[in-house]
A and B are shown apart, each in its own frame.
Chain A
Amino acid sequence: MNSRRASYTLGFGVALLALLAGSVLAASWLSPNDPLAMNVGARLQQPSMEHWLGTDRFGRDILTRTLHGGQTTLISCGLALLSAVLIGLLLGALAGMFHGSLFDIALMRIIDVLLAFPFMVFAMVIAALFGTSLFHLLLAVVVVWWVGFARLTRSLVLQAKNSTTVDAARVLGTSKSVILFRELLPQAFGPVLVLATFELGNLILAIAALSFLGLGSQPPSPEWGSMLADGRAHFMTSPHVLLGPALWIILTVLAFNCIGEGLRDRIDPYEKARIG
C-alpha cells in the first residue's frame, strides 16, 4: 500500500515507545519521590505543580507510581509474551514440518481445546483457584497465548512448504534443516513479528482489565493494573486518580499498534517493488 504512510506510522510508534520506555526506565531519576511514601495529609489531591498527576488515597504521588509501576508491567508482559511467541514458533514450525503426523494432529486438538477457553475465563479460573496475583495472570497468558502464534507459524510453514521456492531448494539438493532455516522460518518471522506487536498491546490491555477487577498484582507495590483497581473506588469523585496509569497504558498500546501497522505494511518483500 502506501509505504510512506507505513514508515511514518512505524516511526511514530517507535518514537512513542522509546519515550515511554525511557520515562519508565528512568523513573527514579525523573521523579525522586518514593513511590511507596504515604502522606495522609495530602490524599486525593488534584494535579498540581508539586504532584503533576495528583495523589492517590494514601497521598502517594501518582506520576511517580505510574513511572515505577511501568517497569513491572512492561517487563512482565514482555517476558510473558516472549515465552508465548517462542513456544508458539517452535510448536507451530514442528507441526508444519511434520504435517499430518501424530504430533501435528495432537497439537491441533490441544489448540482447539484452548481456543474454547476465552482468555478472560481461563485467567479468572486460575485466579480463583490459585489466588490473585500478577504472576498467576502471566502464567495464564503463557498457557493460552502461544496458540495464536503456533497456528500462524504452522500455516505459514505449510504454505511455504508447497511454494516453488522450497521446491527449487529441494531440486538443488538443499538439506531439510537448511530449508527450515533459510526458506521456511524467515517466511514466518515477519508475520509472527507483526502479530506479536499487536498481541503485546492486547496483552497489556487484558492484564489491565483483569487487574482493574482486582485479579492482578496486589497493593502496595506500584503496577498500572493495581493502581487502576486501587483508584476505582474514588474515580467518581476524583477522576484524576486513574489518569496516570490509564494514560500510560493507552500510549503504550498505541505505540505497539502503530509499530504493528507500520510493520505489516512493509513485510511483503514484493510489495515495494510491485509496479502498476
Chain B
Amino acid sequence: MADLFAAESATIGEPAINISIFGAFVVVTLIITFRASRNNKSAADYYAAGRNITGTQNGLAIAGDYLSAASFLGIAGAIAIYGYDGFLYSIGFLVAWLVALLLVAELMRNTARFTMADVLAFRMRQGPVRTAAAISTLFVSLFYLLAQMAGAGGLVALLLGVSGAAAEALVVVVVGALMIFYVLVGGMRGTTYVQMIKATLLIAGALVMTIWVLAEYGFNLSSLLGGAVASEGQQVLEPGAQYGVSNATRLDFISLALALVLGTAGLPHVLMRFYTVPTAKDARKSVVWAIWLIGGFYLFSLVIGYGAGALVGSEAILAAPGGVNAAAPLLAFELGGTVLLGIIAGVAFATILAVVAGLTITASASFAHDVYASVLKKGQGDPNAEVRVARITAVVIGAVSIGLGILALQAGINIAFLVALAFAVAASANLPTILYTLFWKNFTTQGALWSIYGGLIVCIGLIIFSPVVSGSETAMFSNFDIAWFPLRNPGLVSIPLSFFLGWLGTKVSKEKPDVDKYAELEVRSLTGIGAEKAVAH
C-alpha cells in the first residue's frame, strides 16, 4: 500500500525469465478459459458460473480475487519499511471477513441472482434502488480497477525492463486486452479458474519465501524480529512509525481501520462471488476457506515483510525502482536469485490479471442486469440480449480502465489511495444499505437511496477536498489547494453518516415498508427456499 512504482530504467533480475513465467501463466489460463467457455450458455453461466463452483473452489477464488497486488507487494513493503504499522493493514483486511461470514454471505446467496442490487432492491422500488446500487458498484469497481491497472504498468516497468511512458502505456493496454478476453470468452467460470490458479501460485510462492526466511533465522520469530531491528532499529516493532506523527495522522489511521473492516462485505466483486456456489452452505464454506487462506497469507506477509527489512534493508528497498513495493521482489532475489524473483514477479502479474478480470465482470454484470435489463427494459428483455449487453459493457469498461489506468500511471496517482478509496466507498455507500435491507423491517426505498447516494457523494466529496488531491507536495495536484478536510481517508465521517442517512431517510419517508416482501426476504434468506439453483449441464 505505498507509492506507485517509480518508472526508471533499472530492473532487477532477468527480464527474460520474468516474461517467460508470466507468459506461461497467460497461456495456461487462456487454454483453461477456452475450455470453460464451452459451458457458457445462459445468463447464470456468464454471471455466476452456473452456480456450479464448489465451496472449496470458491474459497480459493475469493482469495484470488481479494489478494490484489496491493495486498502482496504493498503490505510486505509497508511491513519492511514501517514495521508494525504495515502489519495493521493486514489485520483490518482479515478481520473484515467476519462481517461477511456472520452477517452477509449466506443471506445474500439465498436471496440474490446475479448482483448486489438484487438484494438491495428486493423489497424496494426497483428502478431507483437498482440504479443507485449500479452507480455505486461502478464507482467502487472502477477505483479498484484503476489501482490495479496503474500498478500493472509500474510493476512491469520495474520487472520486465521496459521503461518510458509509451512502453508502460503499452503494458497497460496488453493487461487490459487480456482481461477483456478472459471476461468475454470465459465469463464468470473462466474468471473463477484464473483466480483459483493465481491464488494457488500466490499462496505457494509466499509460503516458500516464508519458510526460506524463517530457515535463515532457525525458525525463531524472535530472531527474525531481532534481524529486522538490527537492520532498521527498534521502531520497526513499535506502533507509530507511519501513523504516529501527529493527531491528524492518528485519526487518519482510525478512519482507514474503519473503512477496511467495513469495506470488504460491501465490495460488489466479493459479493458476486457468493452467487457462484450452489447453496448457502457452500457460500459459508467458501468464506471459511477464504478466511483461512487470506489469514495464512497475511501471516506469511508478516514474515516476508520483516524478512525483507532484515535481509535487504529499507535503504536498499527505497532506492530500488519500485520503492516500497519492491520489498518482496528484492527479498526473492536475495533468497533465490533470478529464478525465485522470476516466479514471484510472474505471480505478481498473474495477481493483477485475475483481480481486474473479476472487477470487470462485476461491473459489466451490474450495468447489464441492473440498469439495462431491470431499469431500461423493466425486466421484460431477452436474457440473451442481457448477456450481450454485459459483454459489450465489459469491453467498454475495459477500454475506459485502460485509458484511465494510463492517465493514473502517468500522473503518479498512488495505488494505495485508490484501493483505500474503493474500500471507503464500499463501506459508505453499500454496507449500511445491505445491513438495513437484511435486518431492519421498516427500511424503505427513501432510506436506501439516502444511504447509498449520501454515502457515495460525501465519501468522494471529502476525498476531493482531502490532502490527497491538493495542497501538499505529495498530492495529485500540488499547484492549488482546496484541501480543507484534514484526513486522507474519509471513512470516519462518511460511514457513520451513511448509516445515519439510511435511518433518517426511512424515518421521514411517507411510504409504508413492504411487509410481504420483507417476509419473503427474511424467510428466503434464512431458509434458502426459492434460492437460485445450480445449472445442470
* Same complex origin of A and B: no
Interface residues of A (CB under 8 A from B): none
Interface residues of B (CB under 8 A from A): none
